[in-house]
A and B are shown apart, each in its own frame.
Chain A
Amino acid sequence: MTPEQARHAIEESLVQVAPDADLGSLGPDADLRDSLELDSLDFLNFIEALSERAGRRIEEDDYPHLATMASAIKFLADR
């Protein structure tokens, strides 16, 4: 996955989970869960959607990598 593809997959997954989310104002290092007010169920829905788009299973141990937009892009683009 290129960084651009990764960003696209992350944004689409976030919009699916939180349709009213304002991604435009989201900084690269802002905490996704706090900024978008995602609870643990929302976050699991996000992980599920992102796993499908990325075509790979995301483990619970990987969650820390998905804390911010910047770290999530790096995580997906690295593999």
Chain B
Amino acid sequence: MRQAIAQLMARSKREIPHYYLSNTVDMTAAMSWLHQRNRELAVSERLVPAALLLKAAAVAARQVPDLNGYWEGDHFVPAAAVHLGVPISLRGGGLLTPAIHDASDLPPGELMARLRDLVTRARAGRLRRAELTEATITVTNLGDQGVEAVFGVIYPPQVALVGIGKLTEKPVASHGLIGARPVVVTTLSADHRSSDGYTGARYLAALSDLLQRPEEL
């Protein structure tokens, strides 16, 4: 497995001119919506913040389709649907990146159920081969490991990788007042052959906007 990761990542850094952007997102609305929702549902149906962030990342990819698809030969081919690659670390080392199909169309609860299923099967060694090759964009979440921001390496032939950092409380100025708010640093690594920083910036702005209206996700 190490060799497979090594080859793919070396190819990525050899072939893809990455550019990197980051944006700190206010998570006040998202967290209070989650908290309220989780209070009303069974424990087994609770959403973790990571699931809501994945959903928002998938919808943002639909809104900015220039980042969702593949670089083939010398041009970008957009994908018809958003299949979200989610790197899953295995206990004992290694990494698998299966895809959540049509992630932008799934209600958050369903996306959460798919995520739990993928994690369980990845760790049990029961993923289908096709599941590991179908992602159109990848979202890596290292927040649980305590990192503030992750600037990742794109999985070729994909053209973008979204990074989610740790959810923390930070002093944030809003309407001239400073208060403690939950924030998360979102990042984008994108392929400069297929998109420019302007497109990447639109993606991160869309992601942030979506997270201010969690009830619509």
Report A's interface with B, CB cutoff 8 A. Answer: 18, 20, 33, 37, 39-41, 44-45, 47-48, 51, 57-60
Main secondary structure of the interface of A (DSSP, over half): helix
| B38 in contact with A37 (CB, 8 Å) | no
- Contact partner of B91 among A20, A41, A48, CB < 8 A? A20
- Given A18-B91, A48-B44, A58-B43, residue A40 in contact with residue B38 (CB < 8 A): no
CA distance A41 to B38 in the complex (A): 14
Report B's interface with A, CB cutoff 8 A. Answer: 35, 38-39, 43-44, 46, 48-50, 91-92, 115-116, 119, 144-145
- Given A39-B144, A44-B46, A48-B44, residue A60 in contact with residue B35 (CB < 8 A): yes
| A51 / chain B contacts, CB cutoff of 8 Å | 43
| A60 in contact with B92 (CB, 8 Å) | no
Among B50, B91, B115, residue most surrounded by chain A Cβ atoms (within 10 Å): B91
CA distance A21 to B91 in the complex (A): 10
| A60 in contact with B46 (CB, 8 Å) | yes
CA distance A47 to B42 in the complex (A): 12
Query: Shortest distance in angstroms between B169's beta carbon and chain A's nearest beta carbon?
Result: 14
What are 22 residue pairs bridging A and B, where the CB atoms are less than 8 Å apart in the complex? A18-B91, A20-B91, A20-B92, A39-B144, A39-B145, A40-B50, A40-B144, A41-B115, A41-B116, A41-B119, A44-B43, A44-B46, A45-B116, A47-B43, A47-B46, A48-B44, A58-B43, A59-B39, A60-B35, A60-B38, A60-B39, A60-B46
| A44 / chain B contacts, CB cutoff of 8 Å | 43, 46, 48
Query: Shortest distance in angstroms between A13's beta carbon and chain B's nearest beta carbon?
Result: 12
Kindly report which residue of chain B lies nearest to residue A58, judged by CB atoms.
Answer: B43
